[in-house]
Structure 1
Amino acid sequence: MTGRLAGKVALVTGTGGGIGRATALAFAREGAHVIGCDLDPATSEETVALARDAGGRMDAIAPVDLATPDGASAWVDAAAALGGGVDILVNNASAIRFGAIDVLSYEDWSFTMRNELDIVFLVTRAAWPYLITRGGGSVVNIGSISASRGAWFMPQNAHGAAKGGVLALTNHLVVEGGPHRIRVNAVSPAMTQTPHTTPMLEDPDGPAEQILSRVPLRKWGQAEDVANAILFLASDEASHVSGANIPVDGGAAVVG
């Protein structure tokens, strides 16, 4: 532990596994009081136990549905009360439905927008007054390289559109947050090995090898890789960084 986030209160959404869990554990190791949430109480508590067993400070609330105004506000208010304020917000939680444009239903499109774009708006809106009261802080949104390029191995139209909205929202919040010393940045992963993606990546008949062939580093990203980029943006080391979008993709975003 080097204390890069010592004394900070960090709200992280979707801490039950994957990137959210890795981020919560990294933040706790660096001295933050982490307050997480998830839809799944069991996996949420697993993350809390891992953080505490490693000597970190973490609390979490679950189940929480952040894709509703009341759910987002209630969690942020409870988290701010637990921590005595808010210094950092990481908008990680999301849920996606996939399908080609002539197959995807409007219900599935709307579900994806609600759980990948609306959720970022709702949680950030709820946390904004706390960040202003604190005299500034850091917001890190999770984007995707699918926001700026088509995915050839499976249709991701709703996911890409939602994450494109997240990146556009990030840019506007940079301007709105500047006078309040609130920094807003994004991290955009490519294929990352998590509990959700591992079955596809380990499927011998799946697209794993074809996907990997388009990654210059020829390896999968791990949740910890993304968490490390988030940690930098959340820390005071990035005190003059606002409006950045860091790809964590092994170079995939530059491949034609």
Structure 2
Amino acid sequence: MLSSLKGTWCLVLGASSGMGRATAVALAREGVNVFGVHFSTASQQDEVDELIEELRATGVQVSFHNSNAASKQTRAELVPLLGRLAGANGVRVLVHSIAFGSLLPLIPRDGQQDVITPRQMDMTVDVMGHSLVYWVRDLYVAGLLPRGAKVFALTSRGDEHAMPSYGAVAAAKAALGAHVRQLAVELAPSGIAVNALRAGMTLTPAMRRIPDSDALAQRAAEGNPHGRTTTTEDVAEAIVTLSASDSSWLTGNTIAVDGGEGLV
């Protein structure tokens, strides 16, 4: 059954840029109140303020917090606040769009002797992978994930394919996929759906930090049946569409949102 999203709440982790930003805007246009968590520098504050104003212009409630989404203390502070705002209806949509990790190689190369350290590896997998579990668990225990709620984790082809300097992030994405499947099974009795969306090549700020990202994007566009790369709006539209269903029967999947990029 499809239902209106108007008046519900979403939690977007990584709300200030990339896919998180586009999703926050798309959901707000559907009347969804936005609780955003982001980790931005002072130089990025003007962009964040502009986003908040854009969201509020749609008529929804907006609550943004510049905090480390992978921190236990952040969850301890923000989950109760979100509970007070969302009330008995809880959180309809949770979007995990955190892109923060090390892009150092696993093996030293000519001209690049720096390699990833155990601490950097652990941080990358924890922030981009394990943090999904901790947020979902804390929200569930607080009674903020009602029947019909949707959890989306954003992954990439890096969960299956090797790319330069992507080793730690690929490990995080693989962990993310495993967590999605396990959470889907454990939350099925509660009617909560958990899925990963595997976007095609998307030139987000995080993607641009990867070496040769422009060349990678050009090859992806040339090989995509649509003749272009994926946009953040493509991913946001998929999230809005999937969130409108009350059913939890579509769960535990990694869904390609790539215009057919992965088919060729």
Q: TM-score range by the shorter chain?
A: 0.7 to 0.9
Per the TM alignment, residue 60 of structure 1 is displaced from its structure 2 partner at its CA by 1.4
Kindly provide the CA deviation profile for residues 116-165 of structure 1, in whole angstroms up to 9, marking residues without a partner as x. 012212211211224566345111111212112222xx231111111111
1:16–1:99 distance in 2 versus 1, CA, 3 Å = same
1:238–1:108 distance in 2 versus 1, CA, 3 Å = same
Amino acid at match of 2:188: G
Per the TM alignment, residue 234 of structure 1 is displaced from its structure 2 partner at its CA by 2.1
Q: Distance in 2 between matches of 1:56 and 1:117?
A: 30
Partner of 2:112: none
**Unaligned residue ranges in structure 1 (runs of 5+):** none
1:17–1:47 Cα contact (<8 Å) kept: no
Amino acid at match of 1:101: L
3-state secondary structure, aligned to 1:34? strand
Matched, 1:160 2:181: no
Q: Distance in 2 between matches of 1:12 and 1:19?
A: 10
Q: Distance in 2 between matches of 1:221 and 1:247?
A: 11
Partner of 2:29: 29
3-state secondary structure, aligned to 1:107? helix
3-state secondary structure, aligned to 2:7? coil
Name which of structure 1's ranges 190-199 and 154-163 shifts more when overlaid on structure 2.
190-199
Partner of 2:100: 95
1:176–1:216 distance in 2 versus 1, CA, 3 Å = same
Q: Distance in 2 between matches of 1:136 and 1:55?
A: 24
1:145–1:247 Cα contact (<8 Å) kept: no
1:16–1:46 Cα contact (<8 Å) kept: no
Matched, 1:60 2:64: yes
State the superposition RMSD in angstroms: 2.6
- Between the aligned residues of both structures, percent identity stands at 28
Partner of 1:137: 149
Per the TM alignment, residue 22 of structure 1 is displaced from its structure 2 partner at its CA by 0.6
Partner of 1:113: 125
For residues 232-243 of structure 1, the aligned pairs below 5 Å read: 232-236=241-245, 239-243=248-252
Q: With a CA cutoff of 8 Å and minimum separation of 6, indicate the structure with the bigger relative contact order.
A: 2
**Unaligned residue ranges in structure 2 (runs of 5+):** 108-114
TM-score (norm: length of structure 2)? 0.84
Matched, 1:171 2:181: yes
TM-score (norm: length of structure 1)? 0.86
Q: Distance in 1 between matches of 2:210 and 2:131?
A: 26
For residues 73-92 of structure 1, the aligned pairs below 5 Å read: 73-84=76-87, 85-92=90-97
1:104 to 103, 116, 136: 116
Kindly provide the CA deviation profile for residues 43-68 of structure 1, in whole angstroms up to 9, marking residues without a partner as x. 4333221111233332212x211212
